[in-house]
Chain A
């Protein structure tokens, strides 16, 4: 989606511009006050010093250095330092969730866009997919408890049919449940943009591909996927940024036992270690921006080929 072309009204006098800005001013003011200024403050305070009582204005890299302390070598047990292993763990979730939501979201969007024939039915099924998005994430997380818990439905069933003797422990409060919850919560962010891209595809292109002898898979891979690129990238950016900064899902579904970058920032904030938290936020932001940059590069490169 891009900004609509600025209107071609013949009467584009300066007066018009001024009025346009008055209309946009409250909107711009909110983002100035609650987005731009806070981000600038994070960058500034990440260079500050602090003690138990107060933040001390300074210009030091102490916070950054302490985050990466000991990261140049492995610990005695052969582990990575806390920061690097947390980032690795978060990236691992990110990659898994991204891959699963992409395939699942693409399949669902594909079904909605190309296989449902009546527009009314299409709208209905699309709304059916999006309604859960407007309900509480935490509720949707805890709704897995009666199913995956120690005495949950899955374990009861498996024990009932004699497949297992003791309940499976890793179903809840584990990496598995975290990934499951992410997929449950955020596949919608893939479906909507991919579906949007698919609906813009000229159907005659698909028929042309079939007429030219392309198999279903060839049409999918050589026609549909390239034309859905924008939707795929937009969905990927949503999923990646959400998972990278998450602390709620990992907290609730991981039983507050699994580390994540967002969780580190949250804990440091609760101990009022703002400069440390700010430095961590700056690093997280840099990593996320690099990933987004990489994703958008992916589009351009393919366009040039």
Chain B
């Protein structure tokens, strides 16, 4: 369309522009409503009008809502998100590299990852929950058979944040990571690597000094996907978490019990974290891209 010399818009431009503008309003409007309402005065309710402005509901949030310790859930989700981010980056990049070589069964692995992406989350969640409960049963039986009564009494469950929940999150984040790696390597020019090899670089050196700087921006993108997808995950975690809850799960529970703007304050806080991560990732990716292009001259 850029080749067009006349300045006239193609037919259909204005109706579609209107649809687009309304769509953006539809996406962002409600969110801005709750960001605004989270700064309600202490007298304010769940709906407009605003009755003064204050940080009252954020203070309420920090003190915890009812029986729920928000701060602890916040830390748990942050920790899990960081671990998921790290593993998603490392495993996706490794798998991306593997797929560039002759990988017997690579197609099957690719289809499994895609199947995991589109599998209804409740099924994955149920499966993992079931798996760990059967594991519990098995372990308890084994402990009893060995006569380890003390250990048996201490043993609770294998379900947990860094076992079942971590696995559930990875089945959701890794397919995105792999698809991004495919998009990256489909456009990757192997000549740089061959040049490095011809100059005597070891595989590690050519990865560290040639490939990684070139794909750095996308790797940061994978990290962002990993963290934000985990940070907001509910469906896959729901049946696979055990006793402790992540922040989004607490939030989901609170929707039916909390009737004050404190829940909007919680919404504002989690969204700020998401936006911070997106901002850091976009900034970091831009920086890496600039450095890479500078190096190439």
Q: A34-B128, A269-B129, A274-B133 are in contact. Are A3 and B110 (CB under 8 A)?
A: yes
Q: Could you tell me the distance between the alpha carbons of A55 and B136 in the complex, rounded to whole angstroms?
A: 12
Q: Is B65 an interface residue (CB 8 A)?
A: no
For window 1-35 of B, CB contacts with A under 8 Å fall at: 1-4, 9-13, 16-17, 19-20, 23-24, 26-31, 33-34
| Interface residue? A146 (CB, 8 A) | yes
Which stretch, A38-46, A61-69, A79-87, A297-305, touches the partner chain B? A38-46
A3 touches B248 (CB 8 A): no
B182 and A3 contact, CB distance less than 8 A: yes
CB < 8 Å neighbour of B95 from A23, A42, A114, A156: A23
Cβ proximity bits A6-29 to B, threshold 8 Å, 1 near / 0 not? 110100100011011111101110
A residues 89-129 in Cβ contact with B at 8 Å:
104, 107-108, 110-112, 114-115, 117-118, 125, 128-129
| The stretch of B56-64, B210-218, B268-276, B289-297 that contacts the partner chain | B268-276
Main secondary structure of the interface of A (DSSP, over half): helix
Taking the complex as formed, is B92 at the interface, i.e. its CB lies under 8 A from any CB of chain A?
yes
Instruction: Name the one of B103, B130, B251 contacting A139, with C-beta atoms under 8 angstroms.
Output: B251
Say yes or no: is B106 at the interface (Cβ < 8 Å to chain A).
yes
Query: At the interface, yes or no: A290 with Cβ under 8 Å from chain B?
Result: no
The chain B residue with its CB closest to the CB of A111 is: B16
Beta-carbon contact of B120 and A285 below 8 Å: yes
**CB pair A31 B120 closer than 8 Å:** no
Name the residue of chain B whose CB is nearest to the CB of A139: B267
Contacts of A231-274 to chain B: CB distance below 8 A: 237-238, 241-242, 244-248, 251-252, 255-256, 262, 265-266, 269, 274
A residues near B251, Cβ cutoff 8 Å: 136, 138-139
Contacts of B270 in A (CB 8 A): 135-136, 139
Residues of B near A255 (CB, < 8 A) are 256
| Contact (Cβ within 8 A) B98 A21 | yes
Residue B116 is within 8 A (CB to CB) of chain A in the complex? yes
CA distance in complex: A35, B137 (Å) = 20
A148 to chain B, nearest CB (A): 9
B186 to chain A, nearest CB (A): 5
* Contact call B118/A142, Cβ cutoff below 8 A: no
A194–B191 alpha-carbon span in the complex (Å): 32
Contact between B99 and A111, CB atoms less than 8 A apart: no
Interface readout for B26-66 with A: 1 if CB under 8 Å, 0 if not? 11111101100100000001111000000000000000000
User: How far does the alpha carbon of A152 sit from the alpha carbon of B131 in the complex, in Å?
Assistant: 44
Once bound together, how far apart are the Cα atoms of A9 and B229, in whole Å? 35
A23-B94, A27-B109, A31-B109 known; A135+B16 contact, CB < 8 A: no
Q: Report the bound CA distance from A216 to B11 in whole Å.
A: 7
Give 18 A-B contacts (CB < 8 Å), ordered by A residue.
Answer: A1-B179, A7-B190, A24-B94, A27-B174, A28-B109, A34-B167, A37-B131, A38-B130, A42-B123, A107-B16, A108-B20, A134-B232, A136-B248, A141-B255, A142-B267, A143-B34, A144-B30, A265-B122
A142-B264, A245-B119 given; 15 more Cβ-contact pairs under 8 Å: A17-B101, A26-B94, A31-B113, A35-B116, A134-B229, A134-B278, A142-B255, A142-B263, A151-B47, A247-B122, A247-B235, A265-B126, A266-B238, A284-B120, A285-B123
Which A residues contact B (CB, under 8 angstroms)?
Answer: 1-4, 6-7, 9, 12, 16-17, 19-24, 26-28, 30-31, 33-39, 41-42, 45, 54-55, 104, 107-108, 110-112, 114-115, 117-118, 125, 128-129, 131-132, 134-147, 149, 151-153, 156, 184, 187, 203, 216, 237-238, 241-242, 244-248, 251-252, 255-256, 262, 265-266, 269, 274, 277-278, 281, 284-285, 288, 292
The 8 closest A-B pairs by CB, nearest first: A245-B120, A38-B127, A34-B167, A24-B98, A143-B30, A27-B95, A23-B98, A20-B101
